[in-house]
Amino acid sequence: MFYPLDNADDSGMYTCNVEVTAPNSYIYLRNTSANASISITVIATPEPLVEIVSMGIAEPGKEYMLNCTVTIVDRLIVSPVITWSKRSANNVISVPPDLMTVSNVMSSLYLNFSSLNTSDAGLYTCEASINVSQMSMVARNNEFWNLLLKITIPFVYLHVSQSRESNLLAGSNLILTCDISVDPNVDTPFTVNVTWNMTDQQIMSNSNFGGEINSSSILADTDRVNISSVMMRSGFNEYRSTLNFTTLSSIEDSGTYTCIVTIVPASAYEYVMTSDTNYTNIHFIVT
C-alpha cells in the first residue's frame, strides 16, 4: 500500500514473488514458486502557471502594485502555496508580510507599495509550490516568474542664491550657494555630484583638476575663487555646494554661473538608476 503515492519515487515495475513449501507433507509439489509483475506510472501533478503583472508608475512616492497570479488545472482540488522573494544589493530576502494581500477571487498574491522608495527596487520572484501530501499522491512541482523593478532617482530640487544682490564691486567678496534637495523617498545610499560652470565652461579647482585644461574647462584662481565640497544641510536628504569669490574681478568673473547636479546611487544598488542631470543658473555683473 502506498500512502501517499510519490511521483518522484514510486513509478516503476513492481514484481510479486510467491513460493509454496510443504516441509512435513509427502505430497509432491510440481510448481513451488510463481511471480507476477505490473508497471505503475504515477502521473505528476500539472505544473502551475505563474505570471506577474505590474500596475502603477515605478517612481519614488508613487503607489505601485505587483500581482502574482497562479493558474492550475481544474481537476486539482488544492491551492498552491505562493511566496515572494526579492533580490537587491546582492542579497535575496523574503518580502515583508505587511506588503502582501491575498486575493479571494483566484490564486493571487499582491504586493502593495503605497509609496515607493528606492529601497523597493529589485528583482522580484513569485514562486508557486504544489504539495498534495494530504491526498493519495505527493507533488514537488514548483514554478516561478521574475519581474525586475528599476527605480530612477527623481528630479532634484535646486536653488542658487548669492550672498549679495547689489554693489558687486571689483575687489569685494561674493558667495554663490547651490542648495540641493533630494526626494525623501530616496532611502538608499547615493553620492551627490556637483559641478559649477561659467558660461558653459566647467570651473575646475586645483583639488579636482588632474590634467591639462581644455576648451570646456576653466582653471580657477584658487587664491580668490574656491569651490566647496558637497556639504550636508540640516534637513533630510539636503545638501549644499558653494562657489566663493574672495576677491571679485570685473574682467574675469562677470557672467552666468550654473550649478549642475547628478545623484548617483551606490554601486551595490544595481536596480536604482542615476538621476537625470539637473541644473539651475544665476547671472551677475561685477563693476
pLDDT in tens, the chain (287 residues): 765 555 556 778 889 988 776 666 555 556 667 888 888 877 666 677 888 899 999 999 999 999 988 887 665 556 778 888 899 877 888 888 888 877 655 678 889 999 999 999 999 998 888 765 554 444 445 677 899 999 999 988 999 999 998 889 999 999 999 999 999 999 999 999 999 999 878 887 544 433 343 444 555 666 788 888 899 998 889 999 999 999 999 888 999 999 999 999 999 999 999 999 999 999 999 99
**What is the Cα–Cα distance from 142 to 65, expressed in whole angstroms?**
23
Prediction pTM value? 0.73
Cβ atoms < 10 Å from Cβ of 210: 7
What percent of the chain has a predicted confidence (pLDDT) above 90?
43
Sign of CA dihedral 71, 76, 77, 79: negative
CATH architecture of 157-284: Sandwich (2.60)
C-alpha cell at 134: 494530504
C-alpha cell at 230: 558637497
Chain region(s) in the chain for CATH 2.60.40.10: 49-151, 157-284
**By three-state DSSP, how is residue 6 classified?**
strand
DSSP β-bridge partners for residue 152 = 273
What percent of the chain has a predicted confidence (pLDDT) above 70?
76
**What is the Cα–Cα distance from 184 to 59, expressed in whole angstroms?**
12
- 233 within 8 A of 160, measured Cβ to Cβ: no
DSSP β-bridge partners for residue 176 = 162, 243
**What is the Cα–Cα distance from 18 to 41, expressed in whole angstroms?**
24
**What is the Cα–Cα distance from 44 to 1, expressed in whole angstroms?**
19
The CATH homologous superfamily to which domain 49-151 belongs is Immunoglobulins (2.60.40.10)
Place of cell 545623484: 263
